[in-house]
Structure formats: structure tokens, C-alpha cells
Chains A and B, each alone.
Chain A
Amino acid sequence: MAFESLTDKLQNVFKNLRSKGRLTQEDVKAALKEVKLALLEADVSFKVVKQFIKTVEERAIGQDVLQSLTPGQTVIKIVNEEMVHLMGSDTTEISLKPGSEITIIMMIGLQGAGKTTTTAKIAGKLKSKGKKPLLAACDIYRPAAIKQLQINGEKQGVDVFSMGEGHKPVNIAKAAVEHAAKNGCNVVILDTAGRLHVDEDMMNELVEIKENVEIHQTILVVDAMTGQDAVNVAGMFEEKIGVDGVILTKLDGDTRGGAALSIRAVTGRPILYVGMGEKLSDLEQFYPDRMASRILGMGDILTLIEKA
């Protein structure tokens, strides 16, 4: 596919402006139109895009472009800086209680986002760090959800606690924590059922768990391919349940992943890890700067800026 990168487009917009000293409002507007289109193509929320463009515009107007090679690079630099700023500048880890104290983690999200798989992935990660995780099967709805968790738990060599489908998730969660304490586990990860952010009963189920079990980390699992709805979803989970961190899954696909930016903007919570495949080892660190280039569709952005 002949894909003209955003970089090329911006260079084109500014081709005739070399002689000018400072970026005018008009120059900037023309360039930012391209940026706006790129962000929308990447599925960044319409509202987030508007706000982002406004911020960049304010910063870009009046910038001295003779300092750099081209005005295009000046704009790219500002765009990238703002983007990385929005994405969070550092990588983050799940914070754990020291020693034998039990950390309780609850995985939440829409149906099919990747919660159960990611639960097992995290367990493997923590196990290799010397922790002893216990997985709790709190999805009593999806056919074979418990079995799925058990198979994955076994693959990771970690215990899975389940009480079948006949108990309320809050009671399963409570019993799991007791089980962990008795068996020397120091992390409990609750795998909950997928649910819609607008399903009141199901959202209340999570609230009930939070009220009765001391959850230290609530992790929202989001499919990286999510479109404009990401803001509604993340906003509602944050508002109703409270979110401490986000995991983006299925980034091994070719999506630009603009949802990452929307979710950051809406929740302000860090993205902890990214899912990079179906294998239980496919969980990677999240790098805000790489995500920024991916969303903008410019892998070469960093080298370009270095030159500027």
C-alpha cells in the first residue's frame, strides 16, 4: 500500500514556507489538519483530538522556525511532545505489597477484551518475580470461563481458586482471599466476567466486590482496536468502579491504537502493560513514546526530531 506518512504530508504542507521566520496561525492550521486526520484515522476520540489540536496550535503559533530545518519538523516535535506528555512519560508497574502481605488485583473490562488471558499472563510475570499468585474465578456467566482460567493457570503453574457457578462473585472473591492467606499466596488476581459499562446490575456487582474486599489494584483491560467508544467505556468504568491502571491487549495486530490516547485522556490512569499475542508470555512493558509514534503512524518520528 502506498501510504504517505504523516511526516511526508507535513513536509508537503510546509514546502513553500521555508523563507518565513515564524509560524503563523494559518500555517499551523493547515498542518494540524493533517495531524487531526491522522489521529481520527487512528481512532483517537473526536473530542480528545479537538482538545489536543487546540493545545498544539497554541504552542506552535509564533514558534521560530528558522532554528530548525523545516517548519514541518517544528510542528512534529510539538505534536510528539504533547502526545508523549498525554500518554504519561514513564513506564509503570503494578504496585505490590511487600513480602507476605497479600496484594489483591481485580481485572475488569468489556466482553472479550482479554481479561482471562491477561490474568494468567500477569500471574506468570509475578511468579517469575518470586511472588506466589492465586487466580480467582469470579466469572460465573460465560460458558466455560472457569475451565479457561484453570487451563491457563495450570499452564503458568499457579493455583486457581473456584467455587463453580453457583456463588456470587463477591463471595468467591472473599473466599479466595482467605484461601490465599491459608496457603501462603501473596497476590490474588480476580478474573471477573466481561460486562458492558452501561449494564447497571453487572457494574453493581463490581462495586459490591470493591465494598467487601480490599482491592489494591483495579485494572481495566481494553482491546487496542477499540474505536470512538473507548471514551465512554473507560469513563464509565472509572466513574463507577475506579481504575488504577490499564492494560491494552491485541497490540500484535496492525491497529494504530488511538484508544490508548483516549483512555489516558479520560481516566488519567497509566497504561501498565500491553498484550502482544495469545501466548501467556506475550505481555510487554508499555512505552508511551513508542505508542505515540504508532498512533501518529510515524515510526521514524524520533530520528526525525533528532535531526531537527
Chain B
Amino acid sequence: TKTRNNIVSGIDSIFNGFSSIDDEFYDEIEEILIMGDLGINATTSIIEDLKEKVKANKIKDPAECKELLIESIKDEMNVGETAYEFEHRKSVILVIGVNGVGKTTSVGKLAGKLKDQGKKVVLAAADTFRAAAGEQLTQWANRAGVDIIGGQEGADPAAVVYDAVAASKARNADVLLCDTAGRLHNKKNLMEELKKIDRVLEREYPDAYRETLVVLDGTTGQNALAQAKQFKEAANITGIILTKLDGTAKGGIAIAIHSELGIPVKYIGVGETIDDLQKFNANDFVNALFDVKHDEKEDDE
């Protein structure tokens, strides 16, 4: 199963198992949220908030409580109306993140999506560090049928971006997509390099609509929050691409990130082919969060 279309089943089984709202009921929800990687803080505040609402509205039925919970998380995760504004503008999308999360793949998928909309797309191969990063992006450019600039191992990434901006202008491209090298957010010099790339875009392409997407691996736990924080400091992040949600990971840390930093998830990755990128849908995301296997329940009393 490579999509998230068949995930709506799980949620009911949890709430139907309870006839009243008691401590055990809340414990169960807490467990599900923590196992979904939301982390202690987000989980605690969601439960506290839920308890208050249940009290204020005099809710007795777990099913009603379920609706409340889902709605509040969905509201929280709403992407907002201008989330995909870049599709209608001349824009530049900078894609950043730690190692191996799916940046290059996501750039390739996004290029395919935009190309399908009839847009002229240019890719900047600004990962000049990782072995064969340029070749990898070149293959994606071919798959998507778009142009690519750069890709020489060892070149200065900011210089590649500079060239790519010039090429985008010359070719009158609609969207410039910049792939960058993976970097851990605690590496000072690499984060400085990123700021430099950001400055080049700011300076050389001032009339382009800016979008900076941080790619987070959906399998990542609490560290994703630290990643989002640090990348936000280096560049003005406008959204998240949450990848690898085609496995069993829930990607719940995105909820914590949204509530703490206000960065919305804009896309999710659900596989390795060019079509496996979807616009974020809060409904599906929250439903999947509660889709837990219940046969595992017996062994923990």
C-alpha cells in the first residue's frame, strides 16, 4: 500500500472501546499520541485542553470526545490559504534539511508536479558535497523533464545557486527549485553555508516569491523539533515536507512543531516514485495518527 487513502478505519476502534470518559480513557489517548511521536509537551497540552473542553461542554460520551480531539488537532494543523501561493507566482523554492531525509527525492517529485501544471521548472543542484548527489538529481530532472544547473562535486553551493538564478531569469522559468546538501542542524559552518545560499537568493532574485521548505523524515522522533528550530534560525522556513509516511511512522512530531513554531506541513512523501508527493491533508493525517494496531494491546495490560 503506497498511499494513505485507506487509513480511515483505525480511529473508531479506540473510542468505541470505552463507555465512559475516565482516567483510563485519557491514558489510552496519551499512549497513542506518544507512540505517534508527538512528544510529552504536545501530548500533555492536547490532553489538558481536551479535559477542559469535555468539562466545559459537559461531555459524557467518548465518541463526542473523539470528535473534539480530532477537530482540535485538525484546526491546529491547518495549512492556511496562501500555502501554495508559489504555484501562481514566479517563485524560488529552497529545500533544506538534515542528511537522508528525502530532499533530493522531494525536489524531483515537486518538479514533476509543477511540470505537470505546465510550468517551466529549473533545478539547482546545490548539493556539491555528497557522493553522486548531482547524478541523482540529474536523473530526477530527466524523469520530470526539467532543466538542471550545476552538479559538480566540490563546487561552491552558493555559486551554483547564483548560476541557477541567472539561468532561471534567462529562460524565464516559473519555478526555481534548489536542492541542498544534507546538514545536521548543530553544525555551525554548514548552517552558515545555508545562510549564504539564502542571501544569494535574496540578493540576486528579489522579485521571486520565496518559499523555503524544510524536509523532515516522518520516522524521526523528538529531534525533528530541534531541526525545525535551527533551520528556522538560518532561513525563513515557510513550510515542511514530511517524508516516508508510507511506512508505519506517524510523523506526529509535526504537530508539536506546528504548535510551537507555527510552521505548517505543506507536503507529505508517501513513496519513492515521482507521483508519491501529496499536498498535506489534515484530515488524513490525524486519522492515520489514531490508526493503531489493536492486537498489540494485550501484552501491556
Binding site for B on A (CB under 8 A): 37, 40-43, 45-47, 50, 110-114, 141-145, 147-148, 150-152, 155, 196-198, 223, 225-229, 232-233, 250, 252-256, 258-259, 278
Partner of B221, one of A155, A233, A258: A258
Contact A227 B186 (CB under 8 A): no
Contact A229 B249 (CB under 8 A): yes
| CA of A246 to CA of B138, assembled, Å | 33
A sample of 26 inter-chain contacts (CB < 8 A) reads: A41-B39, A50-B300, A111-B102, A112-B102, A143-B135, A143-B136, A143-B140, A144-B135, A145-B132, A147-B135, A148-B131, A148-B136, A152-B131, A196-B246, A197-B247, A198-B247, A198-B248, A225-B224, A226-B220, A227-B220, A228-B35, A228-B249, A232-B248, A250-B99, A256-B223, A259-B221
Does B169 interact with chain A (Cβ within 8 Å)?
no
Partner of B34, one of A111, A228, A250: A228
Contact A46 B35 (CB under 8 A): yes
Does B31 interact with chain A (Cβ within 8 Å)?
yes
Contact A225 B220 (CB under 8 A): yes
From residue A186, how far is it (CB to closest CB) to chain B in Å? 25
Q: Which residues of B contact A40 (CB under 8 A)?
A: 34, 39-40
Nearest residue (CB) in B for A148 is: B132
Contact B132 A46 (CB under 8 A): no
Contact B300 A147 (CB under 8 A): no
Q: List 12 additional contacts besides A114-B99, A225-B98; criterion CB under 8 Å.
A: A43-B222, A148-B131, A198-B248, A228-B34, A228-B250, A229-B248, A232-B248, A233-B248, A253-B184, A254-B185, A256-B222, A258-B221
| CA of A112 to CA of B101, assembled, Å | 6
Nearest residue (CB) in B for A114 is: B100
Closest 8 CB pairs of A and B: A227-B221, A112-B100, A43-B221, A143-B139, A144-B135, A148-B132, A151-B131, A229-B249
Nearest residue (CB) in A for B143 is: A143
Q: Which residues of B contact A254 (CB under 8 A)?
A: 184-186, 223, 226
Contact A229 B219 (CB under 8 A): yes
Does B147 interact with chain A (Cβ within 8 Å)?
no
Partner of A227, one of B101, B182, B253: B253
Nearest residue (CB) in A for B32 is: A46
Contact A47 B100 (CB under 8 A): no
Contact A227 B222 (CB under 8 A): yes
Count A-B contacts at CB 8 Å.
Answer: 138
Contact B139 A223 (CB under 8 A): no
Task: Give chain B's interface residue range (CB within 8 Å of chain A).
Answer: 35 or more
Contact A111 to B244, CB < 8 A, known contacts A152-B131, A227-B221: yes
| CA of A112 to CA of B136, assembled, Å | 13
Q: Which residues of B contact A46 (CB under 8 A)?
A: 31, 34-35
Contact A226 to B219, CB < 8 A, known contacts A144-B132, A148-B136, A253-B184: yes
Q: Which residues of B contact A232 (CB under 8 A)?
A: 248-249
| CA of A253 to CA of B99, assembled, Å | 10
From residue B60, how far is it (CB to closest CB) to chain A in Å? 28
From residue A155, how far is it (CB to closest CB) to chain B in Å? 8
Does B130 interact with chain A (Cβ within 8 Å)?
yes
| CA of A150 to CA of B220, assembled, Å | 29
Contact A197 B272 (CB under 8 A): no
Q: Chain B 230-266, CB within 8 Å of chain A: the 1/0 string?
A: 0000000000000010111110010000000000000
Does B174 interact with chain A (Cβ within 8 Å)?
no
Most buried by A among B136, B247, B300: B247
Nearest residue (CB) in B for A146 is: B132
Contact B184 A250 (CB under 8 A): yes
Contact B136 A223 (CB under 8 A): no
Most buried by B among A112, A254, A255: A112
Contact B217 A112 (CB under 8 A): yes
From residue A41, how far is it (CB to closest CB) to chain B in Å? 6
Most buried by B among A112, A151, A225, A227: A227
Does B157 interact with chain A (Cβ within 8 Å)?
no
Contact A42 to B300, CB < 8 A, known contacts A144-B135, A252-B184: no
Partner of B132, one of A147, A198, A250, A252: A147
From residue A34, how far is it (CB to closest CB) to chain B in Å? 11
| CA of A77 to CA of B100, assembled, Å | 37
